[in-house]
Amino acid sequence: MTERISIGQLYPNAVSPATTRRTPVQQPASTPGIPNFQQLLQDQFVRFSHHAEVRLQERGIQLKPEQLDKLSQAIDKVAAKGAKDALMILGGNALIVNVPNRTVVTALDGNSMNEHVFTQIDSAIVIA
């Protein structure tokens, strides 16, 4: 007996698993002016671009959790002022942050900052 028997042959009124339909999960409609949970969660974090991660590693810059909290608060402050790209001085290190995306795009240590010209920023903040 080498013949294959399909579900339709055994149970003529059954629907085979391959043809079952799933109803799409309805996502709750976002109310204008009220951010959804995912948006709120993303707004709380600071992200690092690949370039920034490489620079942090190359220059031996390690940010402690409390420094990340201060950085997040500083991003909130400059965002409230309408900043787009900000220079942030934190613990003797310079970070260039894309404010709308909450993303650190590059990082410099104290030695790399000497005689360095920062361009394409619209704000600066010294984080104590």
38-93 pLDDT, tens digit per residue, is: 555 555 689 999 999 999 999 999 999 999 999 999 999 999 999 999 999 999 99
- Cβ(36)–Cβ(30) under 8 Å? yes
Tell me which residue has tokens 């201060």: 70
18 is a domain residue = no
Would you state the pLDDT for residue 8?
A: 53
Which residue range is the domain that position 114 belongs to? 47-128
98 is a domain residue = yes
65 is a domain residue = yes
Buried b (16+ CB within 10 A) or exposed e, 22-53: eeeeeeeeeeeeeeeeeeeeeeeebebbeebe
Q: Tally the domains of the chain.
A: 1
pLDDT, the chain, mean: 80
What is the pLDDT confidence band of residue 114, given thresholds at 50, 70 and 90? confident
93-102 average pLDDT score: 96
1 is a domain residue = no
Would you state the pLDDT for residue 113?
A: 87
42 is a domain residue = no
User: How much of the chain exceeds pLDDT 70, in percent?
Assistant: 66
59 is a domain residue = yes
More confident residue, 23 or 120: 120
